[in-house]
Structure 1
Amino acid sequence: MFPWRFFCACVALIILSGCDVPNAEIKGTVTYEKVPHSSISHGLEYDKSFDAPVRGVEVQLIEDGNIIDTYVTGSNGEFKFIKKMDTFVKIRVRAELSNDTNDDDGNEWQVRVVDNTNQKALYVLETDTFEVKREDMNVDLHAASGWRRGEGYGSTRASAPFHILDKVYDIFVKLDAIGSVQLPALTINWSPNNIPQFGDITVGEIGTSYYQNGQIFLLGAEDVDTDEYDQHVIIHEWGHFFEDSVARSDSIGGPHAGGDYLDMRVAFGEGFGNAWSAMITDQPTYQDSFDQDQATGFSIEIEDNDVINPGWFSEGSVQSLLYDIYDEASDGQDFINLGLEPIVAVLTGQQKNTDAFTSVFSFMTYLKDENPSFVNDFNNLLEAQNITSDVDIWGSNATNDGSLPEALPIYLELNPAEVIRVCTSTSQGADGNKLANHRFIKLNVPSTGSYTLTLTPSRDNDIDGYIFTQGQEIAKNEAAGIEPAVITTELTQGISIADVIGYNAEGTAVAATCFNAEFQMN
């Protein structure tokens, strides 16, 4: 049932007594081997590994196959049981964090680390069965990395799931300090079989580390790309879970890298994920290891204000801006130290219900509303990233078009009985998530009722259109072909947004196109 069993030798501590006692104390600690990164190569340095406590996990005392007692480890990984002497038991530690407070004002969360290539079996650390003798006992459990110099992973990577879990524990420590956060259950899928190839996730073909629909998948491919010790990667993906579950993300995902001109929804989501990993660790150098022996890697300086291609479409600008708002250091532009709480408040508050798509514009507008005494400082940070400081949620006054005239205005206005001309672009990439691949149209809805949006291409292109209200998709037309895309749906009075993208005539590749958009009340 459980994939791993490990036993660390017990050391009996004899306590002299004048008479027999009916119970003995079993105590110990649970630790895992933590593998750090090189500050030079950014790869893993196994020779500098050290033991770290496994915190906040349930330790089970098992007798005859039954759980007879449990204990949640503290900050040092310690546990303790009182058990009748002359019995036989074993101790099991589950790779699971759970804090169901049954209190509406308390933090609630449940996280499990499982093997997606073994029917989602939960990772555990377990001793052999041992006798509770007539003295108190010390039983320590340790999850080793399995690394052997010159041999690679010569034995089971027991510490991997517990390091992953411990990074999530770091997040909860930070969140506990700022108030109540209640989260749905999260499953983290990690396996040594998880490789950078897309296909069947049940055999490990996950393609990359990512979050989707309440689950995180992490790479474990030895000598290729492993992420179990890449704390920034783990926390970055957890950040996407946070956005999806208790905040809001309109990001459409897709490939991205520093310096890319991105769809603003992607730029904000990925920039937030990077900044979040730095906020939780208080280490603004993002490190990701890979290659032979996991000995090389890359880094991102999250706090760096001198980013490539700065702007509202840059994940580098977003991460620098967010981390500067959070941190204590002053680096020429950053004179703010707001910490985590106001950032979380905006993400789970006003931004969650914004009429606009989530972007640096919506976030900064609401952050200014909630923290008016820092407006001048916020403006300086925005201007340093070539983002207009006179912001509203729509980016109405944006002037940086990323060298693409089609990128501005960010939202085009469309009222009933009007027709406007709209053009998309692939000049900054054609992955479907690059700047101006999508164009956004504000649909002004004067009264609740049935409306039709008609998108007519001016040349042989396929047009896909989507209508959103406060981030929720209301209707769409993804029909293949070069005919007009017609979307008829019920809309509520206020503002909805049309998101439109063009493809080639076959509908197989993103393409630059122009089209007419007509909006009618039925």
Structure 2
Amino acid sequence: MYVSRTSVWGRTSVTLALALGLTVLGCNGDGDGDEGPPVTATLTGKVTYDFVPASYSPATRSGTLGFNQVTVKPVRDVTIQVLGKNNAVLGKATTDENGRYSLTYTAGEGANVTLAALAKTTTPSIQVEDNTSNNAVWAVSTQFKGGATSQDLHAGHGWTGNSYNANMRAAAPFAILDSMYTASKAFLAVRPVPFPPLKVNWSPKNAPERGQVSSGQIGTSHFSPSENEIYVLGMAGVDTDEFDSHVIVHEWGHFFEANLSRSDNPGGSHSSGDILDPRIAFGEGYGNAISAILLPTSVYVDTLWNRGSLVAFGFDMESAPVPSDDPSPGVFSEFSVMRFLYDLHDGTSVAESTYDQVSLNLGILYDVLVGPQKTAAGVTTIGSFIHGLKAQSGVNASAVDTLAAHYGIGSIRSTFGEGDSDLAGMYTQVSSLPYNIASTLQSGAAHNRRSQNRYYVFTGTGRTVTVTASSVDDVGILALQNGTQVGEADATVSGQETFSFNSQAGKVYVVVLTGYRIGDDDAPESYSFNLSISSQ
């Protein structure tokens, strides 16, 4: 989920945690012990973690975490350190793609020293922190004797059969890290991606309730655009997402979108069958699709506890169920968007041959995301993405149209969705200022639904533009120029909002008016608004 401002992702070694700003699980050993003379040694070994597969069957609509199917995976590209007295760093290295490391250290022969692996990769820089412990970086450690030349390190899942041993739940941050590292490396394999550093917040206290994130009240696993960080659920017996790889990569996809591409996603809740604002339909459909593209399976799985039992829900991005989980296909459907995007990349099959003759490599999708999708004059929708995709070298526009039609999407020919009557009809093209309109919105839906949003497009005059809205209920207004917010008013619930900004001549602006009146879902009602856009 993309959460926006308007919507509201062994034993503990206390000494090590305080000294290095780490939260350490799985530590064993006692004290410094008796020291002999200093000795320099080369230490080698392997760092691994327990990966617990999350499964879901669309046929039976059931799933769980497979603790009886655990795979031991390498901890890749993380910092590993040897620590001595007072937690002085005696040597450090980075694990390779197989989790192996080699480092040189000097310590007293026979002294107890500590080997610690941090949940922090180097390329790109991703670190998993404990948001409930002063943002300490998670780590796993063990103690060994100075002079030793071999030491492995393993982060276990801590599951005892019916619950977690809280002090041994060391695999969780490394599972999160590894999923995001996998996603990053897939893009780095096809393009020189300038990934910025990423901080991820996970804690066993992270629960699906809203409040203080420092207490674990994170609401849900989500990407926070205001912080540019990801939060992940971790409360045992309620909802844990660390092994839900698709959930993890979905949130990573929002980070990618916000930092390297562009997202106009308004955030908020969403589900199959919703007729969404096309910004969130694209953003969430893209997040789902990218998880399936970058991971081995097309089945999205999200596990949680229900009445004490581990259960799961999910969906298949390759094959829609019967009856369909996409009752209103098209540009306003998250599920239409995700399956279309997934089919752009996956291989063609006999079953899909009548509509899917497209199989594009990840590099082309990347080029669209960081190119035309980022600079689109309209808001980011599946329409702006398709328009940019068709402009890429080697892309068969006719085959793209055939695939899009299968998902109820028209033959897009502009960033504003021309060729799809629903998407193009969403925009009101304003030929000159001043402009005034009296119209209606529809209650009975959240603010991120199609029925609660109106769009107005005009060209800047080089003068000051003032946007004013009035309504019988709460509304908000904002102005975007290529996705950059240039004006916004959403401070009151009176239905009276206004702002001004200095426009640039010749630049295209989009004003979005959003209604917040929920009303009765079973008996939605129209409510009126007035909008004025003037220039002086």
Q: Which TM-score tier does this pair reach, normalised by the shorter chain?
A: 0.7 to 0.9
User: Which stretch of structure 1 is more off in the superposition, 271-280 or 329-338?
Assistant: 329-338
Give the counterpart of 1:413 among 400, 425, 429: 429
The SS at the match of 1:291 is strand
In the alignment, what sits opposite 1:27? Answer: 44
Local SS of the residue matching 2:207: coil
Q: Which residue does 2:281 correspond to in 1?
A: 267
**Deviation of 1:296 (Å):** 1.0
The 3 A distance-change label for structure 1 pair 504 and 263 is closer
Q: Is the 8 A contact 2:455 2:510 kept in 1?
A: yes
Question: Which one has more relative contact order, counting CA pairs under 8 Å at least 6 apart?
Answer: 2
| 1:359 Cα deviation from its structure 2 partner | 0.4
For 2:132, give the aligned amino acid. T
> Higher mean Cα deviation, 146-155 or 296-305?
146-155
Q: Which residue identity is paired with 1:26?
A: L
Q: Which residue is 2:187 aligned to?
A: 175
1:4 aligns with 2:24: yes
Cα distance change of structure 1 residues 376 and 161 upon mapping to structure 2, 3 Å threshold: same
Cα distance in 2 between the residues matched to 1:418 and 1:158: 61
Percent of residue pairs identical: 30
Match of 1:426 among 418, 425, 442: 442
What's the CA shift for 1:172?
A: 2.3
The corresponding residue for 1:116 is 131
1:400 to 1:498, Cα distance in 2 relative to 1, 3 A: closer
AA aligned to 2:286 is F
How much has 1:436 moved relative to structure 2? 2.4
Match of 2:331 among 308, 312, 318: 312
The whole-number CA distance in structure 2 between the counterparts of 1:521 and 1:373 is 42
Pairwise CA distance, 1:501: 2.0
Aligned 8 A contact 1:423 1:439 in 2: no
Within-5 A mapping of 1:361-400: 361-371=383-393, 373-400=395-422
Provide the C-alpha distance between the structure 1 equivalents of 2:147 and 2:25, rounded to a whole number of angstroms.
19
Write the letter of the residue equivalent to 1:280: L
Describe the shift of the 1:276–1:424 C-alpha distance in structure 2 as closer, same or farther (beyond 3 A). Answer: farther
Q: Is the 8 A contact 2:49 2:74 kept in 1?
A: yes
Corresponding residue of 2:469: 455
- Aligned-partner Cα distance in 2 for 1:484–1:217: 35
364, 367, 372: which one aligns with 1:342: 364
Determine if contact 1:416/1:519 at 8 Å carries over to the other structure: no
Q: Distance in 1 between matches of 2:477 and 2:335?
A: 29
In structure 2, how many angstroms separate the alpha carbons of the residues matched to 1:29 and 1:463? 57
Matched residue, 2:14: none
Hey, what's the Cα distance between the residues in 2 that align with 1:441 and 1:392?
16
Distance 1:111 1:385, change over 3 A: same
Distance 1:154 1:465 in 2: 46
Q: Judge conservation of contact 2:435–2:534 (CA < 8 Å) in 1.
A: no
**Residue 221 and residue 422 in structure 1: after superposition, are their counterparts in 2 closer, same or farther (change >3 A)?**
farther
Structure 2: which 5+ residue stretches go unaligned?
1-17, 30-38
User: What amino acid sits opposite 1:93 in the alignment?
Assistant: A
Q: Give runs of aligned pairs for residues 99-498 of structure 1, distance below 5 A.
A: 99=123, 109-132=124-147, 137-153=149-165, 155-212=167-224, 213-292=227-306, 295-304=310-319, 307-330=326-349, 331-332=352-353, 333-371=355-393, 373-400=395-422, 409-421=425-437, 423-426=439-442, 429-445=444-460, 447-457=461-471, 460-478=472-490, 480=492, 485-493=497-505, 494-498=507-511
Q: For residues 170-192 of structure 1, give each alpha carbon's deviation from its aligned partner in whole angstroms, at most 9, with x where no partner exists.
A: 01220221121112221111111
- How far apart are 1:121 and its partner, in Å? 1.1
Compute the displacement of 1:461 (Å).
3.2
Q: Report the equivalent of 1:105.
A: none
CA contact (8 A) 2:41 2:105 kept: yes
* 1:94 aligned partner, one-letter code: L
Whether the aligned pair in 2 keeps the contact of 1:219 and 1:228 (CA below 8 Å) is: yes
Instruction: Look up the SS of the partner of 1:278 in the other structure.
Output: helix
- Report the residue type matching 1:157 in the other structure: R
- Describe the SS at the equivalent of 2:411: coil
Residue 6 to residue 463, structure 1, CA distance change in 2 (3 Å): closer
Amino acid at match of 2:391: D
| Code of the aligned partner of 1:49 | V
Deviation at 1:479, TM superposition (A): 5.1
Q: Which residue of 2 aligns with 1:38?
A: 55
CA 1:450–1:81: 2 relative to 1, 3 Å: closer
Q: How many residues align?
A: 486
| Deviations, residues 390-425 of structure 1 (Å, cap 9, x unaligned) | 431112342348xxxxxx721101233454535343
Deviation per CA, 1:67-122, whole angstroms, max 9, x where unpaired?
232221112111123445853432111010123xxxxxxxxx31111111111111
Code of the residue aligned with 2:23 in structure 1: it is P
Residues 110-137 of structure 1: CA deviation (Å, up to 9, x unaligned): 111111111111111112252215xxx3
Asked if the contact 1:143/1:159 (under 8 Å) is kept, the reply is yes
SS in 2 for 1:320: helix
